[in-house]
A = this chain, B = another copy of it.
Amino acid sequence: MTMNDEPLSHFRPAQGPGDWAEVPVHAYKQEAGVPFKDITRRVLFSSPELAGELRYFEMAPGGYSTLERHDHVHAVLILRGRGHCLVGSEVRAVAPNDLVYIPSMTWHQFRATEGEPLGFLCLVNAERDKPQLPTPEERAALERDPAIAKFLAE
């Protein structure tokens, strides 16, 4: 969990979509062996006064987040670019301003499949559990749906 001790600046202007001078870029994951590609993480708002934390994730074209699930939920708003998203058993194209809700213990992944970046805001509880990766059997079960198999292979 990332929690800033310093008070946040009142105003942090954007230099462009997904680009803020005062918002450092973090590694997407700390754990070794977790699959992902060409994705960065920025923490926009995290303070002791906020029960939620707002992050910004951006994938380069062809990049993807980790296929995972967890107890905590994700509340997502697409901020820039285009791509596809898996939530449970459904794959959908996503575009700016679309809302995506990922319920508890639901497999999910974002992919920048449209030859452009995909950037999204993600709201989570500040207190949350660690993600789980699919076992080979769980991944095989997902891939029995041709639309999901195609999505995961892109």
**Which residues on A are within 8 Å of B, measured CB to CB?**
7-14, 16-20, 23, 44-45, 47, 49-54, 72-73, 75, 77-79, 85, 87-88, 90, 92, 94-104, 121, 123, 125-127
Cβ-closest chain B residue relative to A17: B97
Task: State whether A44 and B77 are in contact (beta carbons under 8 Å apart), knowing that A51-B51, A51-B125, A123-B52 are contacts in the complex.
Answer: yes
**How many copies of the shown chain assemble into the complex?**
2
18 contacts between A and B (CB under 8 A): A8-B101, A10-B88, A10-B100, A11-B87, A12-B99, A12-B101, A14-B96, A17-B97, A19-B97, A45-B99, A45-B101, A49-B72, A49-B103, A49-B125, A50-B125, A51-B51, A52-B52, A77-B121
* B-side contacts of A96, CB under 8 Å: 14, 17
Task: State whether A50 and B123 are in contact (beta carbons under 8 Å apart), knowing that A11-B92, A90-B10 are contacts in the complex.
Answer: yes
CA A88 to CA B8, docked complex, whole Å: 14
* B-side contacts of A7, CB under 8 Å: 103
* B-side contacts of A97, CB under 8 Å: 14, 16-20, 79
Task: State whether A10 and B52 are in contact (beta carbons under 8 Å apart), knowing that A44-B99, A99-B44 are contacts in the complex.
Answer: no
CA A19 to CA B96, docked complex, whole Å: 11
Cβ-closest chain B residue relative to A75: B45
CA A10 to CA B89, docked complex, whole Å: 11
